[in-house]
């Protein structure tokens, strides 16, 4: 018998009669990995066994009796690794240990007196489920291999007592500063506000972990330091880009609090002061990585790393503004279980809803001929004059011209323009339609090609017509598809019906608006969505159908629309889609306030406390009630909608300046997910404003020609709408890409990710049509 097992037996003897835990242990009864005759049951708890990475994994062994410890041998690929196990003080028959030395591919972890588990280990650089690495890729200086691996480093920070110093300051262990603040965690422990930051690399990019830390004490996943409350806050970044290099994980929260302002603490520092840990990865910054599958993989790998180094979690909460809200919403719908709660502000529901609105802006701006030097009275391509007010009505926004211009210049043009800049790609490598048509395309659609797919060459409805551009034909391959279109959209229909624009203006606008080609050139023909990109947008979750978001509580914060491409209506899209799909939005709390975008500068810190109380209540409910119901019935009475601090009410939409979009001004529904409508025949009897007598026969003929394939039938679901499929894998057994993904096999919720009350088995509930 080895010394480690003697220690285990001693601990079991000393603690067999004492202690209890808020964690019940996830393998206290036989499951698919064990039988009732086993004396020991082994299970992986830091991740799904088939999705493990970086060569190590935290395992749990539950013994049937104290005597079983004397017999137990834990094996990794038939090598004795029993010495890694330690007994947990509060549950003596439960042993934990980090098993290292896993080879890439299948491994076996087994107990000689129990069950055996197959563990599939993936490289630290990935991929795990995202498919072949996007190339080219530039690693950071100091990387040890082409997957950008580098040994983790640690640095120390502290909170100063100086009220003029915001944020965290560098802390020197050898020469400690004298102005270190103290903090009292939510479990009542008071200690110096000293933080250890871990910086490392996984999935070819950087991650960082912050922990309130006692510098003179050790920390293991089996025995974490006492001030840690086993809560994890995950921070994110905004915008939407597709870089081809490593970047820094955001160290601020980008969540609606204000960096550099000592009067309003950033919420991640507030979280640390209460005993939370904080995690971020570079790929969770949407402005660096706008691929949902890469984001989910990065978060999953980082959570596994966290659990293996720091210990089991009670729950993890996301926080973020703008792109940080997009990331949370998309992951919660497509990869449920990675978060247990969401704190969203400056909210958008997803990438493609936003892209559709901004694509309409882009096309309209091109039609109106907007120029920076003459934004008031632009000249349209066909010479038709529209006043600024008429344009704003067509955009659907009180300040539509400015809003559209900001969205186009700061977001859509850079994100969707294939010749734009992106990290890791030199000007010589980058796509240029004239000088380098085969170069690297820096648009986010190309960056998401594993999810949406390349453009089909011949459209199904017209197999004789070549759908590819001249560049694609010359290159011999299709570019990433456009999942959106404007076929049948009657721009300005509501302003026409209201008498704000004339029939002549409506006719000119819709006859000449056109569409876009893959290089964002304006085309005479309307933009038709590409296949398989359109159905895959819904399937993969880059267009958020919301259907899987009933198992996560959400606190969303909003303020009046600032007219800066962050429309307040985007947060309402989340709420409205929840109501449409679930019949309620009882897991969604809405805080409105007078401050543009965020409602109130104190909301993010306040929402952190509110979310913790909500999740604590769910955690305490260990019944068999489904998680979606637990979230509703355990919502604290004081966690409710509020408007400017008044509880129980939502701010009126008029006060929040909830405007429309070009599509709602064309008659679309309010949900914002009509990336391409279904069509119905054009009908002169429909409402075209001021009585049909104002239309001449040649005008009707022109409209019928413009809408020869039909006009939008907004009463129907969007074209190719389908439910988002959870937990998609984008690579086959050979490592080749599965475009649009394939749902993974059912798997038990990883026990180390959250307390048992949040457990759920993610099973296939629908398949690709």
Question: Would you state the pLDDT for residue 382?
Answer: 82
Half-sphere exposure of 280 (CA within 13 A, CB side): 22
DSSP result, 605-673? HHHHHHHHHHHHHHHT--SS--HHHHHHHT--TT-S-EETTEET-PPPTTTTT----TTGGGT--SSS-
What's the alpha-carbon Rg for the chain, to the nearest Å? 28
Query: Residues 423-457: pLDDT tens digits?
Result: 999 999 999 999 999 999 999 999 999 999 999 99
Q: 358 — phi, psi (to 5°)?
A: -75, -30
153-350 is a CATH 2.60.120 domain: no
Domain range 3-122, CATH architecture? Sandwich (2.60)
Range 639-645 average pLDDT: 96
Q: Cα(86)–Cα(5) distance, rounded to whole angstroms? A: 9
Question: Would you state the pLDDT for residue 518?
Answer: 84
Question: Would you state the pLDDT for residue 38?
Answer: 87
Which range is least confidently modeled, 176-180, 228-232, 600-604, 606-610?
A: 600-604
Beta strands in 400-470 (DSSP E): none
Range 115-131 average pLDDT: 97
CB atoms within 10 A of CB 274: 20
Q: Per-residue pLDDT for 585 more than 50?
A: yes
> Shortest CA distance to 653 belongs to which of 558, 544, 555, 553?
558
Question: Would you state the pLDDT for residue 28?
Answer: 32
The CB-based long-range contact list for 369-374 (8 Å cut-off, 24+ gap) reads 370/401, 370/404, 370/405
Torsion of CA 195, 196, 197, 200, to 10 degrees: -170
Q: 202 — phi, psi (to 5°)?
A: -145, 155
Query: Residues 182-200: pLDDT tens digits?
Result: 999 999 999 999 999 999 9
The SS3 assignment for 334 reads: helix
Range 616-645 average pLDDT: 96
Query: Residues 234-286: pLDDT tens digits?
Result: 999 988 999 999 999 987 655 655 666 667 888 999 999 999 999 999 999 99
More confident residue, 32 or 134: 134
> Percent of the chain, pLDDT > 70?
91
Beta strands in 300-390 (DSSP E): 315-321, 341-345
DSSP result, 37-99? T-SEEEEE-SS-GGGEETT-EEEEEEESSTTHHHH--EEETTEE-GGG-EEETTEEEEEEEEE
List the chain domain ranges.
3-122, 153-350, 353-539+660-712
Q: What is the pTM of this model?
A: 0.93
Which range is least confidently modeled, 379-388, 640-649, 749-758, 759-768?
A: 759-768
What is residue 301's DSSP assignment?
H
Question: Would you state the pLDDT for residue 256?
Answer: 56
């Amino acid at each position: 018998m080895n010394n480690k097992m003697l220690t285990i037996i001693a601990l079991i003897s000393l603690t067999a009669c004492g202690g209890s835990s808020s964690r019940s242990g996830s393998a206290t009864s036989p499951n698919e990995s064990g039988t009732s005759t086993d004396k020991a049951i082994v299970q992986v708890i830091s991740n799904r066994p088939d999705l493990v990475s970086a060569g190590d994994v935290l395992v749990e062994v539950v013994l049937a009796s104290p005597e079983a410890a004397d017999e137990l041998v834990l094996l990794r690929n038939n090598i004795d690794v029993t010495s890694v196990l330690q007994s947990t003080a509060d549950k003596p028959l439960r042993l934990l240990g980090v098993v290292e030395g896993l080879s890439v591919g299948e491994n076996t972890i087994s107990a000689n007196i129990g069950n055996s588990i197959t563990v599939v280990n993936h490289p630290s650089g990935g991929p795990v489920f995202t498919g072949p690495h996007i190339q080219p890729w530039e690693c950071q200086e100091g990387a040890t291999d082409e997957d950008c691996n580098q040994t983790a480093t640690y640095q120390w920070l502290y909170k100063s007592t100086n009220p003029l110093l915001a944020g965290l300051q560098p802390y020197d262990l050898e020469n400690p500063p004298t102005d270190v603040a103290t903090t009292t965690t939510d479990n009542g422990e008071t200690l110096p506000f000293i933080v250890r930051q871990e910086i490392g690399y996984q999935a070819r990019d950087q991650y960082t972990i912050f922990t309130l830390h006692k510098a003179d004490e050790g920390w293991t996943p089996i025995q974490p330091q006492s001030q840690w409350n086993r809560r994890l806050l995950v921070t994110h970044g905004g915008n939407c880009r597709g870089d081809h290099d490593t970047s820094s994980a955001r160290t601020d929260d980008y969540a609606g609090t204000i960096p550099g302002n000592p009067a309003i603490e950033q919420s991640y520092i507030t979280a640390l002061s209460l005993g939370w840990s904080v995690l971020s990865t570079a790929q969770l910054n949407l402005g660096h990585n706008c691929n949902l599958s890469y984001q989910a993989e990065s978060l999953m790998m980082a959570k596994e790393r966290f659990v293996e180094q720091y210990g089991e979690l009670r729950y993890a909460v996301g926080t973020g503004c703008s792109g940080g809200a997009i990331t949370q919403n998309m992951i919660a719908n497509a990869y449920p279980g990675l978060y247990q709660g969401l704190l969203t502000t400056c909210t958008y529901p997803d990438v493609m809803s936003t892209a559709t609105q901004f694509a309409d802006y882009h096309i309209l701006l091109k039609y109106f001929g907007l120029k920076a030097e003459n934004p008031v009275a632009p000249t349209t391509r066909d010479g038709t004059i529209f006043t600024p007010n008429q344009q704003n009505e067509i955009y659907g926004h009180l300040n539509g011209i400015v809003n559209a211009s900001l969205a186009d210049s700061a977001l859509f043009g850079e994100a969707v323009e294939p010749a734009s800049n992106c990290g890791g790609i030199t000007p010589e490598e980058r796509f240029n339609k004239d000088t380098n048509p085969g170069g690297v395309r820096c648009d986010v659609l190309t960056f998401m090609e594993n999810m949406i797919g390349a453009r089909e060459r011949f459209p199904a409805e017209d197999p004789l017509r070549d759908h590819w551009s001249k560049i694609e034909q010359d290159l011999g391959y299709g570019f990433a598809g456009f999942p959106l279109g404007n076929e049948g959209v009657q721009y300005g229909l509501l302003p026409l019906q209201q008498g704000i624009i004339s029939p002549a203006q409506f006719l000119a606008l819709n006859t000449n608006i056109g569409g876009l080609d893959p290089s964002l050139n304006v085309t005479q023909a309307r933009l038709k969505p590409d296949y398989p990109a359109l159905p895959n947008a819904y399937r993969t979750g880059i267009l958020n159908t919301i259907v899987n978001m009933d198992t996560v509580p959400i606190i969303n914060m909003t303020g009046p629309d600032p007219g800066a491409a962050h429309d307040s209506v985007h947060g309402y899209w989340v709420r409205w889609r929840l109501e449409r799909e679930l019949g309620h939005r009882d897991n969604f709390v809405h805080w409105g306030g007078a401050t543009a975008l965020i409602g109130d500068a104190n909301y993010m810190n306040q929402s952190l406390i509110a979310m913790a109380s909500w999740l604590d209540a769910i955690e305490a409910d260990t019944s068999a009630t489904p998680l979606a119901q637990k979230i509703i019935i355990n919502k604290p009475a004081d966690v409710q909608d509020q408007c400017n601090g008044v509880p129980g009410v939502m701010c009126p939409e008029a006060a929040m300046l909830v405007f429309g979009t070009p599509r709602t001004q064309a008659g679309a529904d309010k949900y914002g997910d009509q990336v391409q409508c279904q069509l119905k025949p054009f009908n002169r009897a429909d409402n075209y404003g001021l009585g049909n007598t104002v239309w001449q026969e040649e005008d009707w003929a022109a409209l019928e020609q413009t809408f020869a394939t039909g006009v939008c039938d907004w009463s129907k679901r969007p074209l190719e709408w389908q439910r988002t499929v959870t937990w998609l894998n984008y690579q086959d057994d050979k490592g080749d890409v599965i475009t649009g993904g394939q749902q993974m096999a059912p798997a038990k919720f990883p026990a180390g990710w959250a307390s048992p009350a949040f457990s759920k088995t993610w099973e296939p509930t629908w398949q690709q049509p």
